[in-house]
Amino acid sequence: MGKYTVVIAEDETLILKNLASMVETECGGWEVAARAVNGREAMDYVEKLRPHLLITDIRMPRADGLEILRFIRENRLATVSVIVTSFDYFNYAREALRYGARDYLLKPVTQAQLKRSLNEVRLFLEGREDPLSPSPEHDGKAFSLDTALAGSACRFPPGFSRYVLFLVHCGNFVFSSGGEHDGDPFSCTEDFARIAESLASDGGKIWMSKRRGNRYWYGLLGCSGGDFANEFIMKFHEAVNRKECPVSVAAGELREKETPAGLAGNLLRRMRHNGVFGRGICLTEDLSAGASMQEFFNECVIYGEKLSGALRPGNIPSLHLVLGDMAGYWREKGFPSEAILNIVKYQYLSAGRELGAPLRVDWEDSFDRAFSQSPSWEKLHDALLEIFIGLFSDRETAGRAEDMMKMIDKYIRDHYAGHITNQTLSKRFGFVPSYISRLFREYKGVSPGEYLTQVRVAKAIELIVHAKNINVCDVARAVGFSDPGYFSRLFRQETGMLPTEYREFSEK
């Protein structure tokens, strides 16, 4: 078909203009049919133009976004809706999802956010255009779930009264492109298919899709009883979930005139809205925000103030602690990853404005990658710390970093015989390990580990030359090496001679 139409409702003129511009210039396949500056005007446009999509602010004069969503539902209009909101009204956005909103976007809306959301809406609309219906013409062997998920016209295999589509996602939800990382316990569809087929063998049939996107698959269960379907989903999630790589499952029954493609988009949306970092979840029905989410927003305001307090004087160790406390709180409560991601972006923007600091061009992608690719809470904390450190101006950062590198230099020279790693330095000085390594290399031309080796070899040379009664094994232990053989190899790499050869050379 041609372009999809969209009505945009926003009472702030500049934001309305920017949204319309991004839709038409950056998001191909969409056409702005009308712009509304209040809720009543938006309802009039939706009723008259019947657009494919409505993008609306939550808080507007004459009628708010929730009233517009109720109007669309009560009048049985086919218009899909996406909510735009600020942090102050974030809880309303969660409520809007219960009224049928496909997505919510946190202000200020970026091109990447809008493009991702419109792509998902387009997939939903495309899937809705070709409803499936049961047909005796197919015996089940000709049915292809991949074909159905692509939105192509096809029909259900016969023999079952219920069809349940389920989404299987490995690891943390991928908010960015290129979110793959090694270590997934299931590397191919056959692993899931084998488990699913075994569980469904007593009363159903399974069709699995090929791997789709980043780390996720779809499966279709044909069966005859609701209890069997519910029990299958729970047992399947229990069988595939792994502590080392959490696996989440979202499931929904295909209803009359609903397509696999449309339901697949809905399941993916639910997974994105409700997925929990570092934990496998099982979604069999829509979840809504409760009192705990209000607690989440209240606590985030407090943590936002603490972040600002650490950022204003450039207190990196304090920033390290605040982010650590905040991540620990998120982890304990198990809040949805997307809610955390949106809040931390808001905190970053607020801190940037308060400091008057220029934001990185890829700041939003940096947060998306952190939540998508970090394999643990500890790594997520490190990634967020490095992003927030980037808010400091170049001159201030350079001055503080140089002072800190001098302190690290002295610490290595004073404690060379002890156990020193990037993690040791991180805990002591409050820098992310990767950040320490990069800054120290700029400061000394070598990594902290390479510099530690140089210091140890220099101290070893002093002992070899001036303490001739100490054997090589004791020299190795005195400068921090428990393995004399390893010490000798490193010594040779640095000096071109073994320790014994160096002693003989020095005596000539």
Question: Looking at the domain assignment, is residue 209 inside a domain?
Answer: yes
- With respect to residue 66, please indicate whether it lies within any of the assigned structural domains: yes
Q: Are 387 and 399 members of one domain?
A: no
Give me 244's structure tokens: 């080392």
Give the helix/strand (H/E) hosting 5. Answer: strand 4-9
d(CA 171, CA 309): 34
Between CA 232 and CA 28 the distance in angstroms is: 40
CATH code for position 173: 3.30.70
The CA-based dihedral angle spanning residues 154, 159, 161, 162, taken in that order and rounded to the nearest 10 degrees: -60
Q: In terms of domains, do 373 and 422 share one?
A: no
Specify whether 358 is located in the same domain as 464. no
SS3 category, 218: strand
Cα separation of 264 and 380, whole Å?
29
CATH number of the domain at 442, please.
1.10.10.60
Number of folded domains in the chain? 4
Residue 473 has phi, psi (to 5 degrees) of -60, -45
For residues 487 and 492, give the distance between their C-alpha atoms in angstroms, rounded to a whole number. 9
Query: Do 477 and 348 belong together in one domain?
Result: no
Residue ranges of the chain whose pLDDT lies below 70: 1-2, 87-99, 126-142, 151-156, 176-190, 211-214, 225-226, 243-244, 257, 285-294, 314, 356-361, 392-401, 430-432, 508
Q: Do 162 and 271 reside in the same domain of the chain?
A: yes
Which of 233, 259, 283 is a domain's end point? 283
Give the model's pLDDT for residue 495. Answer: 87
Residues 268 and 311 in one domain: no
In a domain, 301, yes or no: yes
pTM, rounded to two decimals: 0.57
Of the three residues 128, 157, 172, the one that is the final residue of a domain is: 128
136 belongs to a structural domain: no
Residue 353: CB partners within 8 Å, gap ≥ 6? none
Q: Phi and psi (nearest 5°) for 313?
A: -85, 0
Best CA proximity match to 55, nearest among 95, 93, 89, 112: 93
501 and 405 assigned to the same domain: yes
Report the C-alpha gap between 237 and 163 in whole angstroms: 18
Residue 137 falls inside a structural domain: no
Residues whose CB is less than 8 angstroms from the CB of residue 169 and which lie 6 or more positions away in sequence, other chains included: 215, 216, 247, 248, 249, 250, 271, 275
Tens digits of per-residue pLDDT, 455-496?
Answer: 999 999 999 888 878 888 999 999 999 888 899 988 988 888
117 and 156 in a common domain:
no
CATH code: domain of residue 86: 3.40.50.2300
Question: At which of 391, 407, 428 does a domain end?
Answer: 391
Distance (Å, whole) CA 364 – CA 113 = 9
Spatial contact of 167 and 271, defined as CB atoms under 8 Å apart: yes
Say if CB 82 and CB 121 are below 8 A apart.
Answer: yes
Whether 445 and 476 share a structural domain: yes
Q: Which domain holds residue 39?
A: 4-128
201 and 271 housed in the same domain: yes
Both 427 and 507 in one domain: the answer is yes
Q: Is residue 447 part of a domain?
A: yes
Domain match, 377 and 486 both: no
Task: Tell me, rounded to whole angstroms, the distance of Cα 132 from its chain centroid.
Answer: 33
* Spatial contact of 331 and 324, defined as CB atoms under 8 Å apart: no
**pLDDT score for 395:** 43
**Within a domain: residue 90?**
yes
The whole-number pLDDT of residue 43 equals 93
Residue 297 included in any domain: yes
d(CA 497, CA 505): 9
Place of tokens 């339901």: 263
What per-residue confidence (pLDDT) applies to 185?
47
Instruction: Give the whole-angstrom CA distance, residue 99 versus residue 131.
Output: 23
